[in-house]
């Protein structure tokens, strides 16, 4: 399913979202000395490196250039053994789906036990305000199923697992070392701050808004100021910007505050090059 799903998005979703100033993914590069990202069309996958350990956050599309772009970053796929999955949409798990090239077939996947119900077929993923049922995703990697509040330790890397249902029923975000919050498809950044992610793609928009508000309360109660890193619209360390509109949803049809700096066609990766990756320095924050 993954290759067909990726091809479908490139062909049809590129036209659907063209010119709407919705997606502004980061180009391939390093956010800082610990976090690297790879651009895959309109989405990013991330790597967190600490000392000799590298973990991956989400597995992107069934994307033909992932190994090449990892080389741009100096990351060997064989050094990645653990992948945190925010949710099972094909732009976040494509590289580990059954019909992928197997680059990460050796990796152990971590995802919420609720999200795993999509993979077992107990529930089906619905989008377009529940009008369209997506095909099942098949993944053969070893899986570790998580609960809200679980704490993982990867050779001294602390990962707190936080359940944020709404976009999918078992969507999870990951707070790493209390310094980085990887949010998947929980938050969308417009020009004036963060909103709940695209409403046509949510299982339950009201639940998404409720989860986002709880996430804000949880992060602020910890008295920390993490880099908040999204799957499709970059990153920010300004929590007031990040949670500016957590009571509102983003819609591709009635946008609250589109990003005028977003590319006309976010599926066009012509400016994501090895030269730019190597020479551009750290990637800039959204705000």
Domain membership flag for residue 142? yes
Domain membership flag for residue 287? no
For 42-47, the CB contacts below 8 A with 24+ separation are 42/9, 42/13, 42/17, 42/91, 42/232, 42/266, 42/267, 43/91, 43/92, 43/231, 43/232, 44/231, 44/232, 45/95, 46/182, 46/229, 47/73, 47/75, 47/80
- CATH code: domain of residue 72: 3.60.15.10
> Which structural domain range is residue 201 located in?
2-260
Domain membership flag for residue 277? no
Per-residue model confidence as pLDDT tens digits over 1-38: 467 766 777 777 778 888 888 899 999 999 999 999 99
Q: Which residues of the chain have pLDDT under 70?
A: 1-2, 5-6, 253-256, 287
Q: How far is CA 56 from the centre of its chain?
A: 11
Domain membership flag for residue 284? no
Q: In the prediction, which pLDDT does 251 show? A: 80
Per-residue model confidence as pLDDT tens digits over 28-65: 999 999 999 999 999 999 999 999 999 999 999 999 99
Q: In the prediction, which pLDDT does 256 show? A: 59
Buried b (16+ CB within 10 A) or exposed e, 76-95: ebeebebbbbbbbbbbbbbb
- The total domain count for the chain is 1
Q: In the prediction, which pLDDT does 103 show? A: 97
Lookup result for tokens 């290759």 = 3
Q: In the prediction, which pLDDT does 255 show? A: 57
Domain membership flag for residue 214? yes
pTM score above 0.85? yes
Q: In the prediction, which pLDDT does 233 show? A: 95
Domain membership flag for residue 266? no
């Amino acid at each position: 399913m993954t290759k067909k799903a990726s091809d479908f998005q490139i062909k049809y979703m590129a036209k659907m979202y063209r010119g709407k100033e919705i997606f502004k993914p980061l180009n391939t590069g390093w956010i800082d000395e610990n976090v690297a990202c790879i651009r895959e069309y309109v989405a990013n996958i991330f790597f967190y490196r600490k000392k000799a350990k590298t973990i991956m956050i989400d597995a992107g599309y069934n994307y033909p250039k992932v190994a090449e772009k990892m080389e741009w970053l100096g990351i060997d796929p064989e050094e990645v053994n653990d992948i945190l999955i925010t949710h099972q949409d094909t732009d976040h798990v494509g590289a580990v789906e059954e019909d992928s090239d197997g680059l990460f077939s050796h990796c152990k996947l971590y995802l919420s036990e609720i999200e795993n119900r999509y993979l077992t077929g107990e529930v089906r993923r619905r989008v377009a305000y529940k009008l369209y049922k997506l095909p099942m995703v098949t993944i053969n990697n070893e899986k570790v199923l998580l609960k809200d509040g679980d704490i993982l330790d990867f050779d001294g890397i602390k990962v707190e697992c936080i359940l944020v249902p709404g976009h999918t029923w078992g969507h999870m975000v990951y707070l790493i070392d209390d310094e980085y919050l990887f949010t998947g498809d929980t938050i969308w950044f417009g020009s004036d701050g963060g909103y709940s992610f695209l409403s046509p793609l949510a299982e339950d928009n009201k639940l998404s808004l409720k989860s986002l508000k709880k996430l804000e309360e949880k992060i602020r109660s910890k008295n920390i100021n993490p880099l908040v890193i999204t799957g499709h619209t970059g990153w920010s360390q300004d929590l007031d910007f990040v949670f500016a509109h957590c009571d509102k949803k983003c819609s591709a049809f009635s946008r609250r505050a589109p990003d005028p700096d977003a590319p006309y066609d976010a599926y066009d990766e012509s400016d994501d090059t090895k030269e730019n990756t190597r020479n551009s320095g750290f990637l800039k924050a959204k705000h």
